[in-house]
Amino acid sequence: MAKILNKTDVVTVGVGFTGGVIAAECTRAGLNVVGLERGGYRTVDDFMEIHDEWRYAINYGLMQDLSKETITFQNNRGMRALPMRQLGSFLLGDGLGGAGVHWNAMNIRFFPYDFEIKSKTKERYGNKLSNDYLLQDWGLTYDEIEPYYTKFEYAIGTSGEMKSPFDGKRSKPYPMKPLVKTKILSNFEKAAQKLGCHPYMTPASICSDAYTTPYGEDLNPCQYCGYCERFGCEYDAKSSPINTLIPVAQKTGKYDLRCNANVVEVMKKGDKVTGVKYVDTLTGEEYIQPADIVVLCSFVMNNAKLLMLSKIGEMYNPETGKGTLGRNFCYQVTPGATGFFDEQMNVFAGAGALGVSLDDYNGDNFDHSKLDFIHGGLITMLNAGSRPIGSNSVPKGTPSWGAEFKKASVYNFTRALGASAQGASLPHKENFLSLDDTYKDAYGLPLLKMTYNFTKQDRAMFSYLSEKIENLLMAMGAKSVSSKPNGENYNIVPYQSTHITGGTVMGRDPKDSVVNNYMQHWDADNLFVVGAGNFPHNGGCNPTDTVGALAYRCAEGVLKYNKKSVSLV
């Protein structure tokens, strides 16, 4: 029998960036918040020996333990879904702070176009894509979400420059000047300018200077050690939930953080939720945590899975198009290329989001009337720090092992640079999340099943962006360029992007969304669900800034609901 605990005002399931925002905002407003995190507790002191590529980058030291829980995957409904047995294509985070600890910290806004993609595409191009693509407006315009973007960027600190002519209007400048422009980046910038593009320093939640957040948390300047992505930052220079948000909640005395607490069910009675049931992952004991308000703050996959397990909302049915839970599952289109140069460069130094980006081929910043796709992607050259196990690029035609490989991989380690794009991903009726009927997690619950494949739109965009990237590298002076192949089918093995979205989308109508524009569930007004799962489509850049903005919007919703106890729309 599960032990029933004392009731709290708010419980969050998951404590990463979204759980951190909810905890900070709600505790500061005087509410008692319980944070349930299924991973272990950690602080910056756990990252003192983090410069270990084998442990963290290759063996995924900070990622989800798949022996406890994974997903199953099929490219289409006709296949047999099989478990993702190892990590690959995307990296699910684990532990306090979640994926917000191992991220590269690129913190970029979506365009005004993204939030009204259906209306604006129709206006300019008519019904360009077929009805198989479930394009929808977000239920919030850019102007409405702008103040929340600003809040999030200041709360965690962001270094950047207002230089791109394609940016939406900003109410305030970036909190910090951009990170340093290395020789590699300035060469890329010149090449982009030569091709008529508009490059700018990539917005980074990595400190270019000492920074104190509006909550009073201190962050330190980046040391350019080259260990960001897949690592935690031992300098408190890269922002994460554990150095910007969680301590804010802890200092109020109103926050009860419990790690190793895996929520397995959201309890619902009538049209309200009453709390959550969780398992202590160390002892196996079960608890029920009653709460006035429940906020699901875990990663995309798990937010959707919990609603499905708890039977809250109607499952999406790709046959009929009915139901909303699991629909609009999107990923990203990730073309990229490596350029090989004559000169040696300091590729080992850098920071995760130290880069130069351009938006000339992103959003609706260029005319698509003669193209087979809409939207586009941010192209970036990162100076993130090449590492020796992971970086073994060799020019086309070189064997992949043996004497020639050794020579070429050693020679090119300091002479190879990569550039890549994050192409937007648009919802398709056949791409969705559901529950698997064969495979189970360590708690005996069904695994989440992902049905996903690239679409015609994706492949057309891939080719287009791939050519632009090759041109940029050639303009930079590369002797030769090797591009990633444009795969016919999505493959779960090679790493592509952790930017997974959808499944619990937001909107103005319960017919095509799971939550309203306060991230409040249509079927239970004291249940909020927040994260990249709310995105009706995935934009052409990193999702975290938008996730953070939605978390601030959600926090406002929770506080409003706490006063009124009704639906907010």
Stretch that binds other proteins, among 82-90, 170-178, 355-363, 512-520 (CB under 8 A): 82-90
Alpha-carbon gap, residue 526 to 453, rounded angstroms: 35
Map residues 181-220 to x or -, x wherever contact with other proteins holds by CB under 8 A: xxx-------------------------xxxx-----xxx
Exactly one of 43, 141, 346, 483 binds other proteins (CB under 8 A); which one?
346
Nearer to other proteins, 113 or 490 (CB): 490
Using alpha carbons, select from 559, 561, 425, 556 the residue that is nearest to residue 144: 556
Tell whether residue 235 is a contact of other proteins (CB under 8 A).
yes
Stretch that binds other proteins, among 43-51, 170-178, 321-329, 374-382 (CB under 8 A): 43-51
Exactly one of 65, 161, 314, 467 binds other proteins (CB under 8 A); which one?
65
Q: Is 155 exposed, middle or buried (0-12, 13-18, 19+ CB in 10 A)?
A: buried
Min. distance of Cβ 416 from other proteins in angstroms? 11
In DSSP notation, 252-271 reads TT-EEEESSEEEEEEEEETT
Note whether 264 and 525 are within 8 A (CB). Answer: no
Tell whether residue 446 is a contact of other proteins (CB under 8 A).
no
- Coil, strand, or helix at residue 81? coil
Nearer to other proteins, 224 or 299 (CB): 224
Stretch that binds other proteins, among 78-86, 96-104, 285-293, 545-553 (CB under 8 A): 78-86
Nearer to other proteins, 78 or 253 (CB): 78
CA 535 to chain centre: 11
Note whether 293 and 529 are within 8 A (CB). Answer: no
User: Which residue matches tokens 């939605």?
Assistant: 550
Tell whether residue 478 is a contact of other proteins (CB under 8 A).
no
**Size of interface with other proteins, in residues (CB under 8 A):** 72
Q: Is 443 exposed, middle or buried (0-12, 13-18, 19+ CB in 10 A)?
A: middle
Min. distance of Cβ 132 from other proteins in angstroms? 21
Min. distance of Cβ 496 from other proteins in angstroms? 12
Tell whether residue 342 is a contact of other proteins (CB under 8 A).
no
Tell whether residue 1 is a contact of other proteins (CB under 8 A).
no
Alpha-carbon gap, residue 382 to 353, rounded angstroms: 7
Tell whether residue 177 is a contact of other proteins (CB under 8 A).
no
Amino acid at 134: L
Tell whether residue 443 is a contact of other proteins (CB under 8 A).
no
Note whether 448 and 301 are within 8 A (CB). Answer: yes
Q: Is 338 exposed, middle or buried (0-12, 13-18, 19+ CB in 10 A)?
A: buried
Exactly one of 127, 438, 463, 565 binds other proteins (CB under 8 A); which one?
438
Stretch that binds other proteins, among 45-53, 196-204, 317-325, 502-510 (CB under 8 A): 45-53
Min. distance of Cβ 20 from other proteins in angstroms? 19
Nearer to other proteins, 227 or 528 (CB): 227
Binding to other proteins (CB under 8 A) within 382-411 occurs at: 387-389, 392, 400-403, 406-407, 410
Using alpha carbons, select from 517, 497, 493 the residue that is nearest to residue 505: 517
The dihedral through the CA atoms of 98, 549, 238, 106 has a sign that is: positive
Map residues 492-531 to x or -, x wherever contact with other proteins holds by CB under 8 A: xx--------------------------------------
Could you tell me how many helices (H) and strands (E) the chain has, helices first?
12, 20
Nearer to other proteins, 234 or 256 (CB): 234
- Coil, strand, or helix at residue 225? strand
Using alpha carbons, select from 253, 312, 311, 306 the residue that is nearest to residue 12: 306
Exactly one of 10, 18, 38, 60 binds other proteins (CB under 8 A); which one?
60
What is the 8-class DSSP label of residue 57? I
Note whether 324 and 514 are within 8 A (CB). Answer: yes
- Residue numbers annotated as active site: 499
Exactly one of 41, 154, 166, 439 binds other proteins (CB under 8 A); which one?
439
